[in-house]
């Protein structure tokens, strides 16, 4: 299966609403949904319409916006829930049930046979209403693979649109994800979705491995927001996919990532992390002299992501002790100062000495360069 064929299920309006700082108003949900649609995600997942009366109203509103993206609701695997979800007018219902021994014991108390019966009942009901249906098992990686494969095969046999594997607790490694999705790919003919939490920092790698193993859909949220420290971030997944094949993400309006990240950061009251994929303030900043020199010659030396593709620009930091004369020369040229290489090297040495004494700014560097160009010196 080619990794070019994936679909993003953007769950900021479902998993993201489970982030502790998130409490979106209707207007905010509509703004996020429209932005995601403009970006080009294939599906938008919404909070269960049973969560609250407003959640139901908002699901109806978003389903009625006429967006290009498919609108999916998310519910427990129960007929009453599925009915209410269908009432919203959404394109699909994503149902989920816990299959790990822990969830079976401490959550719903059901055995696998019973879970299979319920799954079959709910899947066939949603299908009979002409609506798309996905069946997923919560905590898939702490479930017995034989158990979950049995349920997946049963719902596949009656025509479920998609089955989902969920790393609910962020415990899975990329190799485990690859293994389970590859095995599942051989057992079912329907689409396969992966949903991965980021507790141990593997959410992007796990989503990527799921796609490599034949998954067709991956769940994301903006900035990765969700329960605890969240899930696969949209921007991080895009960075990973772009790094392997920029053509694979050409279907998305990449410069919109910046507005998606900053809009949601503002709404949930956080800053975009400085080291965030693509939109972090330092994502395209280069510092050491050796890096700066190479970047000035050819940005691909130290960049696998082209900032321009995301509507962003790179920045070369030169006011510090690690600076190099090529970067200083480039700055002198920017300022229109015709300094020869020898002088540039002398100024660079002064900058390094000065930076050893105290933090310096670009203004300090510019001042030094100007003084030298006027025939002066450091003093």
Catalytic residues: 291
With binding defined as CB under 6 A, does residue 166 bind ligand HCA? yes
Cβ(24)–Cβ(17) under 8 Å? yes
With binding defined as CB under 6 A, does residue 90 bind ligand HCA? no
Query: Shortest Cβ distance from residue 138 to ligand HCA (Å)?
Result: 4
Query: Shortest Cβ distance from residue 20 to Cu ion (Å)?
Result: 14
HEC string for 288-356: CHHHHHHHHHCHHHCCCCCHHHHCCCCEECCCCCCCCHHHHHHHHHHCCCCCCHHHHHHHHHHHHHHHH
Q: Which CB, 115 or 166, lies closer to ligand HCA?
A: 166
Structure tokens at 181: 């999705």
Q: Which CB, 164 or 235, lies closer to ligand HCA?
A: 164
Q: What is the DSSP string of 112-128?
A: HHHHHHHHHHHHHHHHH
With binding defined as CB under 6 A, does residue 47 bind ligand HCA? no
Q: Which CB, 29 or 74, lies closer to ligand HCA?
A: 74
Residue in 190, 193, 72, 55 with CA at minimum distance from that of residue 131: 72
Q: Which range, of 31-39, 121-129, 160-168, 253-261, touches ligand HCA by CB under 6 A?
A: 160-168
Task: Give Rg (Cα) of the chain.
Answer: 26
With binding defined as CB under 6 A, does residue 164 bind ligand HCA? yes
Please identify which residue in 55, 136, 323, 330 interacts with ligand HCA, judged by CB under 6 A.
136
CA 23 – CA 11 distance, rounded (Å): 14
Please identify which residue in 10, 17, 94, 156 interacts with ligand HCA, judged by CB under 6 A.
94
Which among ligand HCA, Cu ion, none contacts residue 96 (Cβ within 5 to 8 A by kind)? Answer: ligand HCA
Cβ(138)–Cβ(98) under 8 Å? yes
For residue 374, give Cα distances in angstroms to 23, 343, 349: 59, 12, 18
Give residues in contact with Cu ion (CB under 5 A): 15
Give residues in contact with ligand HCA (CB under 6 A): 15, 18, 74, 94, 96, 136, 138, 164, 166, 168, 195, 197, 227
């Amino acid at each position: 299966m080619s990794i070019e064929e994936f679909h993003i299920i953007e769950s900021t309006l479902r998993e993201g609403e489970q982030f502790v700082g998130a409490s979106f108003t209707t207007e905010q949900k509509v703004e996020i949904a429209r932005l995601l649609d403009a970006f080009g995600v294939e599906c938008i997942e919404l909070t269960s319409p049973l969560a609250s009366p407003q959640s139901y109203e908002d699901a109806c509103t978003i389903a009625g916006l006429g967006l290009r993206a498919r609108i999916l609701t998310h519910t427990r695997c129960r007929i009453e829930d599925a009915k209410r979800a269908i009432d919203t007018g959404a394109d699909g219902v994503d149902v989920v049930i816990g299959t790990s021994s822990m969830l079976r014991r401490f959550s719903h108390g059901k055995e696998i046979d019973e879970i299979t019966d319920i799954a079959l009942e709910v899947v066939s009901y949603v299908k009979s209403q002409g609506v798309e249906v996905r069946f997923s098992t919560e905590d898939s990686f702490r479930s017995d693979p034989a158990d979950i494969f049995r349920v997946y095969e049963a719902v596949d046999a009656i025509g479920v649109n998609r089955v989902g594997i969920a790393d609910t607790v962020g415990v899975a490694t990329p190799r485990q994800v690859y293994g389970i999705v590859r095995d599942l790919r051989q057992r079912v003919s329907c689409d396969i979705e992966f949903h991965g939490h980021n507790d141990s920092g593997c959410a992007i790698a796990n989503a990527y491995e799921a796609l490599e193993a034949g998954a067709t859909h991956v769940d994301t949220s903006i900035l990765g927001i969700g329960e605890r420290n969240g899930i696969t971030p949209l921007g991080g997944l895009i960075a990973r996919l772009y790094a392997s094949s920029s053509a694979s993400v050409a279907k998305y309006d990449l410069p919109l990532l910046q507005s998606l990240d900053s809009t949601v950061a503002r709404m949930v009251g956080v800053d975009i992390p400085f080291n965030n994929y693509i939109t972090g303030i330092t994502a395209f900043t280069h510092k050491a002299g050796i890096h700066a020199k190479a970047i000035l010659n050819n940005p691909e030396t130290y960049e696998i992501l082209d900032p321009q593709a995301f509507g962003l620009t790179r920045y070369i930091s030169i006011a510090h002790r690690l600076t190099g004369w090529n970067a200083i020369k480039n700055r002198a040229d920017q300022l229109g100062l015709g300094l020869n290489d020898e002088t540039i090297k002398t100024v660079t040495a002064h900058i390094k000495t000065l930076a050893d004494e105290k933090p310096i700014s670009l203004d300090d560097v510019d001042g030094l360069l100007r003084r030298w160009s006027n025939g002066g010196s450091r003093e």
